[in-house]
Amino acid sequence: MKQIEEYSEKLSVLIIEDNQGDFVLIEDYLLEKFKHITIIHFKDYASSINYLQNSQEKISVILLDLHLPDLVEIELINSIIDYNFQIPIIVLTGHSDLAIAKSSLQIGVYDYLVKDEIDPAILHKTIIFAINRSGFINQLEYEKSNYENLFNFNPQPTWLLELGTLRILNANIAAQKKYGFSLDDFLKMTFIQLHPKEEEQAIKQKLISKDDESTGSHFTHFLNDGKEIKVDIYFRKINSISNNGLIVQSNDISEILNHIKTIEIQNTKLKEIAWTQSHVVRAPLARILGIINLIEMKTGNFDELLFCLKQLRVSTNEIDDVIKKIVEQTNKSKPDYF
């Protein structure tokens, strides 16, 4: 109760009440309990709506009598709620209308007060509770719209799927752009339809059986124009009161795979070059060294020396050719985008 006593924020209360006596009484109670309060008073429905639509004043709470000269009871409540002013409404009622007041709670009225039973403390408590509750509800609405924005403006294609059937319940803007399907197109599809036939089992296994182990690798997705992309798939189960679903994201890794392929081709080339170094370059070099060994063993015969020199010439030319070839090969292995 301490918190309630200390309520000192600025408050604007709109009282819609045609009975002057009732109004004065409520006004007195309010002024007694709230320090910084602005009270606005209208006596009928039409002028109240007119005020709500045009006023700059931010109304904290509406106190509404159920019998106005131009509209009454449930129709009155419905009409005001339809405007969706986002202001908590507290109904003021006599004993005769108690049933209506109670049922109005189901269509969006925050609370009701029986006029004969109102005292300053009850009025004060009811208003504070209504404002607090409206704060929570607004907070929830903000959160909801924040999450909707997170979904819609996420740059990664993201879907909301029905658990089990994998029917698409929602698709964000990135998914629509990337895949070339409109939201309406997506809503007629299941997520499986994005995959080629041979991957149907695997994607079902991943998303329905949550069997991540068996499907570690990536998937193929078809875009609306028939183009194929390679994707990684991420998903989480989400729970809500109405239905359980899956939130699924795809990450296009086609380009990364292409890069990896390029690197692999280069690696193969490098291995070839290493092999060439080890075998082809070394062969004539080993021969040259062998010829020198031979000369060192026996150099007496001039003809034999000439023969050896000729062989040296052949082998050195061969090394020269090999080196030229390696340089050529190395240049070829440079990727195109360098």
Partner 1 sequence: MKKELFIIDDDPIYRMIVSKMVEYTDSSLIINESENGRIGLAKLEDIKNSKDKIIVVLDINMPILDGWGFLDEIEKCHFYDLDELVIYLVSSSTDESDILKSKRYKFVKGFFHKPLTNEDIKTIIGSN
Q: Which residues bind partner 1 (CB under 8 A)?
A: 275, 278-279, 282-283, 285-294, 296-298, 311, 314-315
User: Which CB, 169 or 283, lies closer to partner 1?
Assistant: 283
Q: In the bound complex, what is the minimum distance in angstroms from residue 286's beta carbon to partner 1? A: 3
Q: In the bound complex, what is the minimum distance in angstroms from residue 281's beta carbon to partner 1? A: 9
Q: Are 79 and 104 in contact (CB under 8 A)?
A: no
Q: In the bound complex, what is the minimum distance in angstroms from residue 159's beta carbon to partner 1? A: 50
| Helix ranges (DSSP H) in the chain | 2-5, 20-33, 45-54, 73-82, 98-104, 120-152, 173-179, 183-187, 200-207, 254-276, 282-297, 302-332
Q: In the bound complex, what is the minimum distance in angstroms from residue 283's beta carbon to partner 1? A: 4
Q: In the bound complex, what is the minimum distance in angstroms from residue 277's beta carbon to partner 1? A: 9
- d(Cα 104, Cα 73) in Å, to the nearest integer? 9
Enclosing H/E stretch for 251:
strand 245-252
User: Which CB, 135 or 290, lies closer to partner 1?
Assistant: 290
Q: In the bound complex, what is the minimum distance in angstroms from residue 279's beta carbon to partner 1? A: 5
User: Which CB, 4 or 283, lies closer to partner 1?
Assistant: 283
The crossing angle, in degrees rounded to 10, of helices 282-297 and 302-332 is: 160
The token pair at 288 is 């040259």
User: Which CB, 208 or 283, lies closer to partner 1?
Assistant: 283
User: Which CB, 269 or 282, lies closer to partner 1?
Assistant: 282
- d(Cα 16, Cα 90) in Å, to the nearest integer? 10
Q: In the bound complex, what is the minimum distance in angstroms from residue 292's beta carbon to partner 1? A: 8
User: Which CB, 189 or 312, lies closer to partner 1?
Assistant: 312
User: Which CB, 38 or 311, lies closer to partner 1?
Assistant: 311
Helix (H, G, I), strand (E, B) or coil at 159: strand
The token pair at 259 is 């890069």
- List beta partners, residue 247: 160, 236
Helix (H, G, I), strand (E, B) or coil at 121: helix
Backbone angles phi, psi at 193, to 5 degrees: -65, -15
- d(Cα 331, Cα 59) in Å, to the nearest integer? 76
Largest CA distance in the chain: 142
The token pair at 250 is 């795809």
